[in-house]
Amino acid sequence: MKQKLLIGLLFCLFLNILNVRTDPLDYDWEKRISSGIIDKTEATELFWLEAMDNSFVALFNRHKIGEAKGAAIILHSIGGHADWPEVISPLRNMLPKFGWSTLSIQLPIISPENNIEEYGKTFQETNRRIIAAVNELRKRGFSRIIIIGHGFGALSSLVYFEKGESKYIDALIAISLQDYVYIKPPVNLLRLIEKIKIPTLDIFGSLDFKEGVESAPDRRLASKKSGNYLYTQIEVKGANHSFNNMENHLIQNIVDWIK
């Protein structure tokens, strides 16, 4: 009897170790990053949202003029955070001046000991967080909601729509969208685009990453296959992946397209 009990305990211990190793998400490191955001961010409504058993930071900026035109959920890219100085912070702080409230959310982070390819396992958690963000905005009375994703955040939003979760989303803005061929399990970017049926802005810089610039014609073709005539692609001349010193061009293009 004691031998069976010992074997059972060892088996449970093995399963626990296996679960730790197969889960690449690092919630402790994410909390440390979020604490840094809390310490440095000013003039923002900052709070925690719940997604299943995990909480994550969300930064809300209310519209500055007149009646709200809607709200934008903002998704950062790999290596970034909810107040990342490139693309993300300019978007969440400047769009309110055009009548759009913004909700920038922290996306999952993988453990440092894992390879970057493990980001392919973050999509399920990201989907939960987007759903939580949508629910939060609806509770606040927003009936018009759009998603803006940058880099991997843009790809993550396409994966979200693949699951049929577009019921309360009115439009998608994908900034510097590209294929991440190294992630596992692999994701077929063009097939994801073919499934998008809502108004979509695909915007990138002429000096963006090679993968994003060279795949632009294929992305346009994929949108035609989907029959999505509300797909628009804009190349911003002279802009790099981070739109350094061209944030105003990025935001003006977005605002004009939303109109």
227 dihedral zone (left: phi>0; alpha: psi -120 to 50; beta): left
| Residue 23, pLDDT score | 66
| Residue 30, pLDDT score | 72
User: 37: pLDDT confidence band, cut at 50, 70 and 90?
Assistant: low
| Residue 40, pLDDT score | 62
| Residue 227, pLDDT score | 87
Q: Both tokens of residue 120?
A: 């392919």
**Gyration radius (Cα) of the chain, Å:** 20
Task: Residue 71: name the closest of 174, 161, 170 by CA.
Answer: 170
Measure CA of the first residue to CA of the last residue in the chain; give whole Å.
Answer: 73
Task: Residue 35: name the closest of 15, 56, 17, 52 by CA.
Answer: 56
| Residue 39, pLDDT score | 60
* Single-letter amino acid, residue 5: L
User: 102: pLDDT confidence band, cut at 50, 70 and 90?
Assistant: very high
Task: Residue 179: name the closest of 207, 205, 199, 159 by CA.
Answer: 159
* Single-letter amino acid, residue 248: N
Q: Which residue has the higher pLDDT, 15 or 38?
A: 38
| Residue 1, pLDDT score | 47
Q: What is the mean pLDDT of the chain?
A: 88
**Would the pLDDT of 59 be above 50?**
yes
51 to each of 48, 125, 131, 147, how far by Cα in Å? 10, 8, 8, 18
Query: pLDDT tens digits, residue range 65-76?
Result: 888 899 999 999
* Single-letter amino acid, residue 139: K
| Residue 18, pLDDT score | 38
